[in-house]
Amino acid sequence: MKLRSSRFSTLVAVAAYVLSGCASSPQNGGEGRATEVKIYESAQLAQDQYELVRYLPVDSWRTAFWLPTYSSQAEGIASLQAEATRLGANGLIDVSCLDQRSSIWPWNREHAVLCYGNAIRVR
């Protein structure tokens, strides 16, 4: 009986940990500083002028199960900027947004945009 209770407690603790990661919110000023994150083209910076902070959103464990999509390209880029701000980055490079609207299923005509890029810290 004690073994079963221990397994249940462990399962509840793991579920709480996983769900708490889904409920995180931007920190470090959030929206106000997100607009300070500049978007660079690949040719604007030499590789030794910046350090890579993280691939967005690919470096998250959540992307193995779900990729975030947005209703517009502007909303997707704003989300990347907010995440870069949270990570302490001051720039984004190689940003790309793709329309994920499914043309196979006629009932799925919602606009879904997937945006990704690299959060960087310019030196």
C-alpha to C-alpha distance for 120 and 88, rounded to whole angstroms: 9
C-alpha to C-alpha distance for 79 and 73, rounded to whole angstroms: 10
**pLDDT tens for each residue of 29-50:** 444 567 789 999 999 999 999 9
pTM of the model: 0.67
Domain membership of residue 20 as a residue range: 2-122
Domain containing residue 113: CATH number: 3.30.110.70
Number of domains in the chain: 1
Q: Is the peptide bond before 68 cis (omega within 30 degrees of 0)?
A: no
**pLDDT tens for each residue of 49-106:** 999 999 999 877 888 888 888 999 999 999 999 999 999 999 999 999 998 876 555 6
